[in-house]
Each structure stands twice: as structure tokens, then as C-alpha cells.
Amino acid sequence: MSLPADLRDLYQQVILDHSRNPRNHGQLEGDCLHAHGDNPSCGDEVDVWVKLDDAGAISKILFSGQGCAISQASASMMTQKIKGKSRSEAASLTEDFRRIVTGDGEASDADQLGELQLLEGVQKFPQRVKCAMLAWRALEQALQNSEA
């Protein structure tokens, strides 16, 4: 089957694997931070639960949700990468990720993004940026809730 390269880049095997078998999937109980994110226009939903340790680093993170392969894979890959990060590290990782999926600037630390760089293919599909960013916006929201 011949497919445009853009589409193959968008749906790489790693991304499809994360969407089929999401990591860190579930719901945290007890004292934790939580935020819900959705894209009303397409109906994608994601919930992110975060637990911070005494130093303020992310010690546990789980997500649940339903939506397209991009939104669910991005959420799954995010939870793997974000665990153990401090609040400021999480913020700069989020900004770097936003840059690579929108194509709006270069990542400040591409190595740190690691596997997440596979989602760079979203750049060619501007309507899907909101899918890739869904879980990240929820994470930001959850962390902001804790500051309030």
C-alpha cells in the first residue's frame, strides 16, 4: 500500500503502539492533582492525575481518556517522559514539545524530548496539533491547580 510520507510520519509504529497499548493508564486515588482536558470540536478527552513528592517533583502520573491515536499516544508518551521531573523541568519539556509539534521554533533541549520527537510529524497536520497537545494542556492545568 503506497501512502504519503507525511502520513507515515504522523502514524509511526511507536505512536500506533502507544495508542493501542497506552502506558501509565489508570486513575490515581487519594491526595493528588488532577485535571480534565477535552477538545470540544472533536470530542477527544483526557484526564491526568499527578502525585508530587516532598521535593515537588512528579513521583507518579497516570492518565485515562478516549480519542484519536495522536491524542492518546501523546498522553502515554508524556507520562513516561514526565515522571521524576520537577515542576520547572515539566514546564520546559511542555514548551519544547509544543515547539516541535507546531513547528514554531526549535526545542531548547531536543535530547531531553527523546522519543517524543517522533510526534514531530504532527507539524504537517495543523488540525491535529490540538490532539497532540491535549494531555500536555491537562498536565499544565493540574500543576497550576496545585499552585493556586
Rg of the chain, C-alpha, whole Å: 15
Residue 88, burial from CB neighbour count under 10 angstroms (0-12, 13-18, 19+): exposed
Are 37 and 45 contacting, i.e. CB atoms less than 8 angstroms apart? yes
- DSSP string covering 37-57, please? EEETTTTEEEEEEEEE-TTS-
Q: How far is the CB of 42 from another protein (least distance, A)?
A: 5
Grid cell of 46 as nine digits: 483526557
Which residues contact another protein (rule: CB under 8 A)? 1, 3-4, 6-7, 10-11, 16, 41-44, 66-70, 125, 128, 131
Grid cell of 97 as nine digits: 514539545
Q: How far is the CB of 78 from another protein (least distance, A)?
A: 18
Q: How far is the CB of 1 from another protein (least distance, A)?
A: 5
Q: How far is the CB of 43 from another protein (least distance, A)?
A: 5
Q: Which is nearer to another protein, 65 or 99 (CB)?
A: 65
Q: Which is nearer to another protein, 26 or 43 (CB)?
A: 43
Q: Which is nearer to another protein, 30 or 40 (CB)?
A: 40
Looking at the chain, list the stretches that DSSP marks H as alpha helix, in order from N- to C-terminal side.
5-10, 13-20, 69-82, 87-102, 110-113, 129-147
Q: Which is nearer to another protein, 116 or 131 (CB)?
A: 131
